Structure 1
Amino acid sequence: MATNIGDFFIVSNSVYNITEEDYQKINILVNAAKAFARSTHQCVYIIDYFKQNFLYVSENLAYWCGQTSEKIKDFGYKFYLDYVPEKEQQMLLEINKKGFDLFNEIPIGERLDYTISYDFHIIQGKKHRLVNHHITPMVLTKDGRIWLALCTISMSVRNTPGHIIMKRSNAQSYYEYSLEIHKWIKKEGITLSETERDVLILSAQGYTMNDIADKLCKSIDTIKACKRALFSKMGVKNIAEALSYATNYRLL
Structure 2
Amino acid sequence: MKSNINSSLLTKNKVERISDYDHLQQQHYLEVVKSFARLTYESIYVIDYEKMAFEYVSENPLFLCGYSSEEVLEMGYDFYFKNVPERDLELLNLINDAGFDFYKKLPGHAKKSYSITYDFHLVNKDGKHILINHKLTPLFLTSDDQLWKAMCIVSISHHKNAGNVCIHKQGTDETWELNIENNVWRKSEKPKLTKREIEILRLHAQGLTINQIAEKIFVSADTVKYYRRRIFERLGVSNIVEALSYTVNNKII
TM-score (norm. length: structure 1): 0.90
Matches of 1:143 and 1:196 in 2, distance apart? 44
Matches of 2:134 and 2:11 in 1, distance apart? 19
User: Gapped runs of 5+ residues in structure 2?
Assistant: none
- The answer to whether the 8 A contact 1:64-1:122 is kept is no
Tell me the percent identity: 38
The question of 1:6 aligning with 2:8 is answered yes
- The answer to whether the 8 A contact 1:118-1:163 is kept is yes
Tell me how many residue pairs correspond in the alignment: 250
The DSSP-based 3-state class of the residue aligned with 2:60 is helix
Post-superposition Cα deviations, 1:188-234, rounded to whole Å, max 9, x if no partner, equal 33112222222222322322233334444544343322211111111
Matches of 2:28 and 2:214 in 1, distance apart? 43
Shift of 1:53: 0.7
TM-score (norm. length: structure 2): 0.89
Note the 1:1-252 alignment, pairs <5 A: 2-10=4-12, 13-19=13-19, 22-23=22-23, 25-61=25-61, 64-125=64-125, 126-252=127-253
Post-superposition Cα deviations, 1:26-47, rounded to whole Å, max 9, x if no partner, equal 2543122212211111111111
Shift of 1:70: 0.7
Matches of 1:64 and 1:207 in 2, distance apart? 33
- The answer to whether the 8 A contact 2:14-2:52 is kept is no
Shift of 1:19: 4.7
Matches of 1:191 and 1:35 in 2, distance apart? 33
- The answer to whether the 8 A contact 1:62-1:69 is kept is no
Shift of 1:54: 0.6
Matches of 1:198 and 1:28 in 2, distance apart? 40
Post-superposition Cα deviations, 1:70-118, rounded to whole Å, max 9, x if no partner, equal 1101111111111101111111011011101101112224221211111
- Assess, with a 3 A threshold, how the Cα gap between structure 1 residues 104 and 247 changes in structure 2: closer, same or farther: farther
One-letter amino acid of the counterpart of residue 5, structure 1: S
One-letter amino acid of the counterpart of residue 159, structure 1: K
Shift of 1:238: 0.9
- Assess, with a 3 A threshold, how the Cα gap between structure 1 residues 214 and 19 changes in structure 2: closer, same or farther: farther
Matches of 1:4 and 1:61 in 2, distance apart? 27
- The answer to whether the 8 A contact 1:172-1:189 is kept is yes
Matches of 1:54 and 1:172 in 2, distance apart? 31
Please report the RMSD computed on the Cα atoms of aligned residues, expressed in angstroms.
2.1
One-letter amino acid of the counterpart of residue 174, structure 2: S
- The answer to whether the 8 A contact 1:170-1:250 is kept is no
The DSSP-based 3-state class of the residue aligned with 2:41 is coil
One-letter amino acid of the counterpart of residue 137, structure 1: P
User: Gapped runs of 5+ residues in structure 1?
Assistant: none
